[in-house]
């Protein structure tokens, strides 16, 4: 009987179709166990420990070996496993090591290569180890490219190509497979000295391989939908990319931000664009006044009409040039990342640029404006204008256009300077216009550390207005003045049906009060009336805000007690009702 059962199990395990079904189930389990997501949208490579777990399954029998092939080879971190099938034989004498081309690449070797490469969906091209056993002479790469018995398509199932080197083999593979890929990521800068600046003329040395790749894609883009170039590029590559007609999502790093550099990109029919601009442009900055802003907003020019998501990383000047050049009116997501500049008026351009984009795109649902912290080698106090000059205050324009975003659900403004000391009061006044707002993070910065430039914080009493006018808001982070508790309004007779779950309120950190238990109780009761569903006041803080986190812990604990008592009371009432 035991032999019959055993033979039945062996017949099942040796059936290719059944083994494949079993393995697909086991593959999902092992991936979840290692926390691995191999979706093509993620810039992740295969984890070797997970692959080792899968390889063990391949040793069960021949059927399992074939069933495992798809998972083992579907995402490859380098070309070495493939080249081990095709590499020429080695001949070694006392003085040198040479390659033997006597047999070329046999038809059997190409068949093995095709069997495995046809499973690959994600391929990362990296430098091969430069040992005698692995080094490939460029002539062998040329032979591979012209071999009469080579497969017509090297990686027929390829969907995602990551290029981390521009050596001969990687360039050949990239040019051979780029037309089949749906996503291409070029990320070479940290590994190749050739991309560093020439000290004499300040120009960027471009990779001939990337020039060739983008030229090939401009002529035949194939299936390409998403392209990401992570090192700074100059006009030739930009022009090539602008002619790739199938690309809908583009991320690229531009060395200079002049209008001439950005203009080719603005002609593309993109849906998603992320652009990083490194240096100040030599172009003249557009006229920056309220009239110029309204002119930009009302301009009927609508380049990139299908663009729904835009991310721009640059300093204030680069941001302003991007605003003048990239002019969609259908954005749903806008994220502006403002690089630090010691010139405060250039940093103040963040509000100007944001106002322009918001004015053009009133249907926006997500808006982020984030600045960079002061670099470690910079003074805490930025350079201030001459006494006869003044800070350019874009706060009224910013708030005016923010109020037009009637569908916005997420607003985030952090580490960006505003010249108005009452910027938080401006925000409070427009919140009733943002009925659909779900998440708000508003932590701007004053233009300097001088006392006359410091913001007037909101008060705890101001939260009553938030509770009344923004019932959909579930997450709020902003500055709050906790020094005066005697102005809390009496709200004991009613409770707002509010959905707020997370509050991160940043007080004046240089003068944090020490509340008594009674004071904490008063605040907890007030907040509980406003936000009865509140779950957190001390979670989600970074280490730099640990003093704020600890400040709110007693209030949070008291609010939790209020909620538990309320829930128990409701249960008791319901129990009595049923009993009667």
d(CA 397, CA 394): 5
pLDDT band for position 486 (50/70/90)?
Answer: confident
The DSSP H or E segment spanning 568 is: helix 546-579
What would the DSSP string read from start to end of 286-315?
A: PP-SHHHHHHHHH----SSTT--EEEEEE-
pLDDT band for position 494 (50/70/90)?
Answer: low
- Cβ atoms 31, 38 nearer than 8 A: yes
Mean pLDDT of the region 117-139: 73
- Is the predicted pLDDT of residue 115 greater than 50, yes or no? yes
- Cβ atoms 417, 347 nearer than 8 A: yes
Residue ranges of alpha helices (H) inside 299-412 are 316-325, 344-347, 349-360, 395-402
**pLDDT tens-place string over residues 337-377:** 999 988 888 889 999 999 999 999 999 999 999 998 776 66
- Cβ atoms 503, 531 nearer than 8 A: yes
Give me the pLDDT at residue 140, please.
77
d(CA 339, CA 420): 21
Strand partners, 253: 232, 276
**pLDDT tens-place string over residues 516-566:** 999 999 999 999 999 999 999 999 899 999 999 999 999 999 999 999 998
Strand partners, 229: 186, 252
């Amino acid at each position: 009987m035991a032999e019959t059962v055993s033979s039945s199990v062996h017949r099942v395990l040796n059936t290719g179709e059944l083994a494949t079904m079993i393995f697909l189930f086991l593959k999902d389990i092992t991936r979840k166990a290692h926390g691995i997501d191999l979706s093509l949208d993620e810039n992740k490579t295969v984890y070797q420990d997970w692959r080792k777990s899968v390889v063990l399954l391949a040793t069960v029998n021949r059927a399992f070996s074939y069933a495992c092939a798809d998972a083992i080879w579907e995402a490859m971190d380098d070309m070495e496993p493939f080249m081990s099938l095709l590499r020429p034989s080695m001949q070694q004498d006392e003085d040198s090591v040479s390659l033997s081309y006597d047999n070329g690449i046999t038809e059997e070797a190409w068949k093995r290569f095709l069997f495995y490469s046809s499973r690959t969906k994600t391929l990362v091209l990296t430098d091969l180890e430069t040992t005698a056993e692995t080094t490939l002479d460029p002539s062998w790469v040329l032979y591979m490219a012209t071999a009469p018995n080579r497969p017509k398509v090297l990686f027929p199932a390829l969907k995602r190509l990551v290029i981390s080197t521009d050596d001969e083999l990687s360039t050949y593979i990239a040019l051979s497979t780029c037309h089949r890929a749906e996503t291409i990521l070029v990320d070479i800068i940290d590994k190749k000295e050739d991309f560093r600046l020439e000290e004499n003329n300040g120009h960027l040395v471009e990779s001939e391989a990337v020039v060739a790749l983008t030229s090939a894609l401009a002529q035949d883009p194939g299936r390409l939908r998403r392209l990401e170039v992570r090192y700074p590029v100059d006009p030739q590559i930009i022009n090539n990319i602008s002619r790739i007609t199938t690309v809908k999502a583009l991320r690229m790093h531009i060395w200079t931000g002049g209008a001439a550099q950005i203009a080719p990109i603005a002609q593309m029919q993109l849906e998603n664009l992320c652009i990083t601009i490194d240096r100040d442009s030599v172009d003249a900055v557009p006229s920056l006044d309220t009239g110029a802003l309204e002119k930009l907003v009302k301009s009927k020019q609508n380049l990139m009409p299908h663009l729904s998501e835009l991310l721009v990383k640059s300093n204030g000047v680069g941001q302003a040039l991007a605003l003048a050049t990239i002019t969609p009116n259908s954005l749903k997501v806008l994220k502006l990342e403002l690089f630090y500049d010691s010139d405060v008026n250039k940093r103040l351009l963040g509000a100007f640029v944001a106002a322009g984009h918001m004015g053009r795109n009133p249907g926006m649902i997500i808006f982020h404006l984030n600045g960079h912290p002061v670099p470690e080698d910079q003074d805490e106090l930025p350079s201030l204008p001459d006494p006869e000059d003044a800070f350019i205050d874009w706060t009224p324009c910013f708030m005016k256009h923010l109020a037009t975003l009637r569908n916005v659900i997420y607003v985030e403004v952090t580490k960006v300077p505003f010249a108005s000391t009452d910027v938080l009061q401006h925000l409070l006044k427009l919140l009733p216009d943002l009925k659909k707002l779900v998440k708000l993070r508003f932590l701007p910065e004053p233009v300097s550390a001088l006392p006359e430039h410091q913001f007037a914080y909101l008060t705890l009493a101001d939260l009553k207005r938030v509770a009344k006018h923004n019932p959909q808001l579930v997450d709020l982070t902003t500055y709050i003045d906790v020094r005066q508790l005697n102005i809390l309004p009496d709200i004991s007779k009613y409770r707002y049906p509010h959905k707020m779950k997370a509050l991160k309120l940043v007080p004046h950190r240089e003068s944090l009060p020490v509340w008594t238990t009674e004071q904490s109780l008063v605040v907890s009761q007030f907040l509980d009336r406003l936000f009865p569903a509140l779950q957190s006041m001390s979670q989600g803080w970074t280490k730099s805000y640990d003093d704020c986190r600890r400040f709110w812990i007693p209030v949070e604990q008291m609010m939790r007690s209020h909620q538990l008592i309320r829930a128990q009371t409701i249960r008791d009432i319901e129990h009595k009702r049923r009993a009667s």
